[in-house]
Amino acid sequence: MTRAFLRQWVFSLDHKVIGKQYLAIGVAMAAIGAFAAYIMRWQLAFPNIPAPLYGLVDPGPYNAWLTMHGTIMMFFVAMPILLGAFGNFFIPLMVGAHDMAFPRLNRASVWILFVASVVLVASLFVEEGPAAAGWTNYAPLSIDPMYTGVGIGFDLWLVAVFLDFVSVLLSGLNVLTTALNMRAPGLSLGRLPLFVWTQVVAAVLFVFSAGPLMGAILMMLGDRHLGTGFFVAERGGAPLLWQHLFWFFGHPEVYVILLPALGISFEVFATFCRRPVAGYRWLLGALWASAGLSFLVWAHHMFVSGMSVRLALPFSITTIIISVPFAMVVFALIATLRGAALERSTAMLFALGMLATFLVGGVTGIFLGSPAVDMYLHDTYFVVAHFHYTLFPSVVLGGFAGLYYWFPKMFGRMLDESLGRWHFWLTWLSFHAVFLPLFVAGTRGHMRRVYDPTQYEFLQPLLPIHRIATVAAIVLLASQMVVVWNVVRTLWKGQRAEGNPWGGTTLEWATPSPPPAENFMRIVQVTRAPYGYEQTGSGVQPLPQWVERDAP
């Protein structure tokens, strides 16, 4: 019994088991991240009134919760779910492989992530509390305990993030090798599904950007314990150096998260529009161009940081130019609706909702990319609203599009579509009710990360905005009960899924749902590009990418 359990879960090398474990870690961490959001929102709307399920929020813990929210959502929810879960589960299936290229490395990656998560969660329980300098962890606030009263919490944060990066690095190498070397016969790079391409670009981005921050983490540990002074002015260091290293990683990181979410929506759009995604090759060009540019924009987070003001011009130009490839991606998705024979589904709703929401996030970035306007809006709720309008559609709406689309393949049963529609509309509308008002709080000059805004006279009239946002945030969190219920009920007694329930054309649909241990019973030969459909007498029918043949 224990042996079988260990073999199936703890030491299993099956990419599908590992993918589900990533999903479990991501969802568990999301619950903590959501709780952190609830505590922050409560305190902002009802300062100094005890929060139900928590109690009175003090300024120190408030800073800790805001730090945990950002850290958890970026590193322990977005990456594990979009890269770890969907990447692991579907890259081998979509390239027609029986597993990832390095199954043991894959097993190690998920265990390292698990340890990293335990370290981060453990920091919630140490005596002086967890790290409390924001997810950006600026020096020297994060270096000397006399500034925050937090000691080991910062070390645990640094170790957890470092381990998290080790995990994603290893899994990124695995993704690259699998996508490039394990493709089924006939699956040329030009026939690769776009989801796999976005995972490849994301892996390249992560592998090239993580190093500097991992080095910076070690340097900061040195500053904290060995008396080095990389980021400490009195010891000859530069606080700005941390900011440069952090954002050199931090901006590509946004695309590491966004690209796989876009990849999901490409798949969903093609399947439910019953036609190819518009401009496949142009899209690939746009993805690589935005990836390349994302390495050259980091200092737009630092226009008012005190860095040389001459640097504002080049970084503002690259920042604003990056809107061009993204505009192409967005227009390609929209053009895909042309001549579409649209099939309604929850997955498509989430993908469309993601597109419309991300548009707002994209255009509000233009304001912040202009240094003069950024001088006023930097570090205000305008920034908070802007990046939630980019990350929420990617991680949450994109993630749910993937879940509703691929759940039958992952778990062999069909999620309830009408519950799915309720879930979408509740989530989508309450999200806008949280973050649209916060744009106005930002233009009114409301600084972010302020524990009790009523301390400032000019912020007192903005309390109603906080109340609307908080009530909507509670509705948003509560709405997730709908999907939890849907998943539980479906796993228990949902309708069984056939191999290709949506009429998809890519290789993951060539297997039974859920796929057996080695994925493919027979050899799949890829004969055409993905997303082919043809008009027949009984409607538009998929032209699968593959034909099957017996092993020689």
Partner 1 sequence: MVLLWFSSIQRWLWPPATSTFAADIDALFLMIASVVGLWLAATLAVLEWLLWKANRRRRGGGLFAAEAREIRWIVVAAVGVFVSDLAIEVRGQRLWEQLVSAAPPNALAIRVEARQFAWTVLHPGPDGELGTTDDIELQNELHVPVDQTVEVRLRSRDVVHSFFLPTVRLKQDVLPGTEVRRWFVPTEVGTFPIACAELCGFGHYRMGGRLVVHSASDYQQWLFSAAGSELSTPEAGAQ
Residues in region 490-509 near partner 1 by CB under 8 A: none
CB of 396 to partner 1, least distance (A): 20
When the beta carbons of 177 and 323 are compared against partner 1, the nearer one is 323
For residue 321, state whether it binds partner 1 (rule: CB under 8 A). Answer: yes
Query: Site residues for partner 1, window 471-490 (CB under 8 A)?
Result: none
Quote the CA–CA distance of 311 and 297 in Å, as a whole number.
11
Provide the minimum distance between the beta carbon of 26 and partner 1 in the complex, in angstroms, as a whole number: 27
**Which position among 320, 433, 468, 523 is part of the footprint of partner 1 (CB under 8 A)?**
320
Q: How far apart are CA 99 and CA 18, in angstroms?
A: 11
- Give the residue with the Cβ less far from partner 1, 124 or 321: 321
Minimum CB distance to partner 1, residue 183 (Å): 24
Residue number with CB closer to partner 1 (134 or 250): 134
Q: How far apart, in Å, do the first and last CA atoms of the chain sit?
A: 38
Nearer to partner 1, 342 or 517 (CB): 342
Among 233, 478, 481, 488, binds partner 1 (CB under 8 A): 233
Helix (H), strand (E) at residue 495 = strand 495-496
In the region spanning residues 149 to 168, those forming contacts with partner 1, defined by CB under 8 A, are 149
Q: Please, which residues have CB within 8 angstroms of residue 177's CB and are 6 or more apart in sequence? A: 101, 102
Asked if residue 314 binds partner 1 (CB under 8 A), the reply is no
User: Which one of residues 49, 56, 335, 484 is an interface residue with partner 1 (CB under 8 A)?
Assistant: 335
Nearer to partner 1, 183 or 378 (CB): 378
CB nearer to partner 1: give 410 or 465: 465
Confirm or reject binding of residue 276 to partner 1 (CB under 8 A).
yes
Identify the DSSP state of 445: T
Q: Is the peptide bond before 61 cis (omega within 30 degrees of 0)?
A: no
* Binders of partner 1 in range 370-429 (CB under 8 A): 370-373, 375-376, 378-380
Looking from the CA of 186 toward its CB, the CA atoms found within 13 Å total 17
Task: Taking the CA atoms of 288, 250, 107 and 519 in sequence, report the sign of the dihedral they define.
Answer: negative
Q: How far apart are CA 537 and CA 496, in angstroms?
A: 28
Residues 6+ apart with CB under 8 A from 351: 264, 265, 268, 269, 272, 397, 398, 401
Residues 78-137, interacting with partner 1 (CB under 8 A)? 132-134
Rg value, the chain, Cα: 23
Q: Based on CB atoms, which residue is closest to partner 1, 341 or 478? A: 341
527 contact partners, CB below 8 Å, separation of at least 6: 186, 545, 546, 547
Paired residues of 380 in beta bridges: 447
- Taking CB under 8 A as the rule, does residue 274 contact partner 1? yes
Stretch that binds partner 1, among 104-112, 182-190, 448-456, 486-494 (CB under 8 A): 448-456
> Which of 27, 54, 60, 250 forms a contact with partner 1 (CB under 8 A)?
60
Provide the β-strand partners of residue 414.
495
User: How many residues belong to the site for partner 1 (CB under 8 A)?
Assistant: 92
- Of residues 10-49, which lie at the interface with partner 1 (CB under 8 A)? none
Does position 56 interact with partner 1 (CB under 8 A)? The reply is: no
447: contact with partner 1 by CB under 8 A: yes
* Residue 340 near partner 1 by CB under 8 A: yes
Residue among 47, 50, 63, 69 nearest 453 (CA):
47
User: Contact between 140 and partner 1 (CB under 8 A)?
Assistant: yes
Report residue 128 as tokens.
Answer: 């002086």
| Closest among 431, 434, 291 to 350, alpha carbons compared | 431
Q: How is residue 398 annotated by DSSP?
A: I
Identity at 251, one-letter amino acid code: H
Binds partner 1 (CB under 8 A): choice among 6, 10, 49, 356: 356
Which positions ≥6 away from 19 have C-beta within 8 Å?
84, 85, 86, 87, 88, 89, 90, 410
CB nearer to partner 1: give 417 or 512. 417
| Per-residue mark of binding to partner 1, 280-299 (x: CB under 8 A) | --x-----------------
Smallest distance, Å, CB 532 to partner 1?
11
Residue 480 has which token pair?
A: 């997730």
Q: Which two tokens stand for residue 322?
A: 């990056």
* Per-residue tokens: 44: 């902002």
The answer to the question of residue 304 lying near partner 1 (CB under 8 A) is yes
Q: How far is the CB of 31 from partner 1 (least distance, A)?
A: 25
Interacting positions 518-547 with partner 1 (CB under 8 A): 533-535, 539-540
User: Mask: binding to partner 1, 182-221, rule CB under 8 A, as x and -?
Assistant: ----------------------------------------
Of the candidates 155, 66, 75, the one whose C-alpha atom is nearest the C-alpha of residue 113 is: 75
N residues, the chain: 552
